[in-house]
């Protein structure tokens, strides 16, 4: 496996895991039929929030780095490089950002155990699956078409430590799953 394949594989894993965690949160906190203790649910919530904040912040940082990279290059007005830069720039500014996902996650957390909590977690998962995930897929497709390995390396900031950190955080979520809740890949909208 070459470096680009490792980077892209890790990005795919992070996106898939984030979707699994978002959907598990919606299932656990968006319904009233979960038979788990308050302590078990608190531990699960803590693991989920820790994972989601970490992974969404990393994706937001990647978008910022990509924006800065595009600005620093300022390609000529015409040509393939300019078209690729415009396409990436349009995708970066498209709705469905990690910042928006973090804001929805914060709303769900702030709802606590109120009647609105279930709807807030459902809204977070809906946004994640219908806006965030498609935007990420489009960005990565455009990066694959217009970027070098050096660009991927600079934008994604994936190394052995970050891979291990992501795996540990995801494993912690899996360890805290309440009975009846599964980590499932998100369905495509």
Does the structure show a pLDDT above 70 at 20?
A: yes
pLDDT at 18: 97
Confidence of residue 79 (pLDDT cuts 50, 70, 90): low
> What pTM does this model have?
0.88
pLDDT at 83: 62
Confidence of residue 32 (pLDDT cuts 50, 70, 90): low
pLDDT at 189: 47
pLDDT at 182: 87
CB 123 within 8 A of CB 104: yes
Q: And the tokens for 52?
A: 């989601």
C-alpha span between 160 and 166 (Å, rounded): 10
pLDDT at 33: 66
Confidence of residue 53 (pLDDT cuts 50, 70, 90): very high
- How high does pLDDT run on average in the chain? 87
**pLDDT, tens digit (0-9, with 9 covering 90-100), for 152-165:** 898 999 999 999 99
155: exposed, middle or buried (Cβ count in 10 Å: 0-12, 13-18, 19+): buried
Which of 113, 129, 130 shows the shortest CA–CA distance to 29?
A: 113
CA 143 vs. chain centroid, Å, equals 17
């Amino acid at each position: 496996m070459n470096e680009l394949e490792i980077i892209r594989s890790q990005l795919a894993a992070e996106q898939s895991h984030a979707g699994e965690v978002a959907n598990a949160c919606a299932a656990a906190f968006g319904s009233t039929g979960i038979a788990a203790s308050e302590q078990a649910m608190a531990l699960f919530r803590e693991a989920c929030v820790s994972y989601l904040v970490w992974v969404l912040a990393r994706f937001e940082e990647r978008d910022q780095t990509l924006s800065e990279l595009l600005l620093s290059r300022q390609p000529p007005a015409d040509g393939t490089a300019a078209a690729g830069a415009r396409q990436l720039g349009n995708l970066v500014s498209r709705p469905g950002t990690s910042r928006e996902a973090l804001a929805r996650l914060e709303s769900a957390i702030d709802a606590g155990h109120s009647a609105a909590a279930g709807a807030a977690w459902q809204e977070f998962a809906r946004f994640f699956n219908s806006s965030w995930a498609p935007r990420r897929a489009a960005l990565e497709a455009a990066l694959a078409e217009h970027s070098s390995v050096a660009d991927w390396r600079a934008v994604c900031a994936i190394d052995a430590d970050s891979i291990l950190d992501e795996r540990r955080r995801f494993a912690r979520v899996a360890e805290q799953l309440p009975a009846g809740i599964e980590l499932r890949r998100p369905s495509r909208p």
